[in-house]
Amino acid sequence: MAATGSEKQGSKAFYVTTPIYYVNDAPHLGHAYTTVAGDVLTRWHRQRGEKVWYLTGTDEHGQKIMRTAEANGVSPQEWCDKLVEEAWKPLWEHLNIANDDFIRTTQKRHTDRVQEFVQDLYDKGEIYKGGYEGPYCVGCEEYKLPGDLIEAEDGTKLCAVHKKPVEILKEENYFFKLSEYGPKLIEFYESNPGFIQPESARNEVVNFVKQGLQDLSISRSTFDWGVPIPWDDKHVIYVWVDALLNYATAVGYNENPAKFDETFPANVHLIGKDILRFHAVIWPAMLMAQGLPVPGRVAANGWLMVGGEKMSKSNLTGIKPQDLTSHFGVDAYRWYFLRAIAFGQDGSFSWEDFSARYTSELANDYGNLASRVAAMVGKYFGGELPAATADGDAEKAVHEGLAQAVATADAKIGEELDFQAGILAIFDFVKQVNGYITEQEPWKVAKDESEAGQARLATILYTAAEALRAVAVLLNPIMPETSQQLWDSLGAEASLGALTAQPVQDAGTWGRLPTGAKVTKGAVLFPRLEDPKKA
């Protein structure tokens, strides 16, 4: 049995991938949701001090791309080049995505290795020639089983994902012996219950495999936009076999053994639930056939819904991320979707919900706290952080609250991929600090000019500033720009060094912000926004 990702640790990088995205159109919120989740996860692990590799990219072969290019009067390669350089890469840069690599399936580093992989399987007797006829969805680039179809009012068979008629294809293809891997996959799922997440996705896959697998058609002969089969150039490799292999080719498969050994397999494949079977059935079976280790985890996020419909290009509910970042800002965008939607479940987006959460949690709770603390340190202590010398039960409660927030956030975000619960733990602590200031009333304590009164005031403000120091560390993987602003405002860069060098798991170590740090009131982290619909 192939080894799992968890068994190959030591010097191995924490390797996370997004799906490689079809370039038949510009990216929308759904694509950005998965990519931001991967960015937060990998930034979190980097800030744990771990070696990390984050991969994203584009899927550029297949019939759907070919038809889109033809409809736009250009070659498929010209279409892909235009979309990648003008839409996909600029968006990831705009959203502050810190990916380590961007793979394109038209790159020679990929196509050569794909041919080698498939040739190896053919030489081992894992691939044979045969014929096939069945319903095919061009949007999914997949032959459909009867249970995958729905029926229109006129009796037309539709793809359940795209709600469009399927085409009946008949062609001579090469097949991978997928059916032989059903028992091995079931054994693997049972031995590795956390391999597929969430549980509902795992149950779906296990039930699907237990019903029996069909051999997989791994070539197409009715069009030519793809990687040629090396032993038969009348066929091109099935786009999904081509696409899945990016996770190996991007990290040196058959080209850079040292890089491959220290990176592969992925610890986490982040995917949309509509491509679950490809990643949880076909991909591990291909790796088993090649004697390669399988991934540590396949985590399927749900669909983003707008008006009750899955967000996609085809149903015109695709919203550009820039439509939101231009109003709310990039950091708030990165925060909102992971805060508002439980990863792994479907979630609805609305402008009104975003506005309400932004105002309540970012502007009022978090941003206002940062502004108040900096203003009071400036007003009462000339911007120089005072020493805490009068800790009491109220301060101890803050210390304990922080320790709990750090432990919860690290477990939920770093291990469980429960971004929502991790973010909530951090913001519950922010609320606790706000409550602490409200109860301690430093503006009243400041009127007591005795030594004890001033010591109490200093303790209150040090406690609040030190709490914010920890919040900046914890929120840095999620909201890097505003976290850096807060870090600078607290004088932490000068006294503690770079924010990215602060281990998230140690953020709860109390007393790190030194007495005398220069605290300044910078720009408001999250300014109040006018409703553009009313402006």
**Helix H or strand E encompassing 71:** helix 63-71
- Is 162 known to be catalytic? yes
Catalytic residue among 12, 140, 273, 279: 140
Catalytic residue among 144, 269, 310, 412: 310
Catalytic residue among 162, 184, 327, 379: 162
Concatenated DSSP letters of 339-398: HHS-TTS-EE--HHHHHHHIIIIIIIIIIHHHHHHHHHHHHHHTTBPPPP----HHHHHH
Residue 432, CA distances (Å) to 1, 27, 253, 418 in order: 50, 38, 49, 22
- Is 313 known to be catalytic? yes
- State how far Cα 71 lies from the chain centre: 32
- Any idea which residue has 């503690």 for tokens? 496
- Is 137 known to be catalytic? yes
Residues 289/181, Cβ–Cβ less than 8 Å: yes
Strand partners, 306: 309
Catalytic residue among 12, 159, 269, 412: 159
Residues 72/35, Cβ–Cβ less than 8 Å: no
Going across the sheet that includes 232-237, the strands are 219-220, 232-237, 228-229
Instruction: Name the residue among 238, 68, 247, 24 with its Cα closest to residue 141.
Output: 238
In whole angstroms, give the CA distance from residue 328 to residue 481. Answer: 13
Residue 8, CA distances (Å) to 55, 294, 295, 463 in order: 19, 10, 10, 42
- Is 279 known to be catalytic? no
In whole angstroms, give the CA distance from residue 432 to residue 391. Answer: 16
Instruction: Name the residue among 272, 332, 527 with its Cα closest to residue 321.
Output: 332
Catalytic residue among 45, 61, 110, 137: 137
Catalytic residue among 94, 184, 313, 431: 313
Catalytic residue among 12, 28, 61, 144: 28
Catalytic residue among 31, 110, 157, 273: 31
- E strands within 101-180? 101-104, 127-137, 142-143, 149-151, 157-159, 167-176
Residue 150, CA distances (Å) to 155, 314, 316 in order: 9, 17, 21
- Is 31 known to be catalytic? yes
Three-state SS at 160? coil
Note the maximum CA span of the chain.
91
In whole angstroms, give the CA distance from residue 142 to residue 223. Answer: 15
**Helix H or strand E encompassing 518:** none
Structure tokens at 106: 């038209």
In whole angstroms, give the CA distance from residue 141 to residue 217. Answer: 12
In whole angstroms, give the CA distance from residue 391 to residue 448. Answer: 17
Catalytic residues: 28, 31, 137, 140, 159, 162, 310, 313
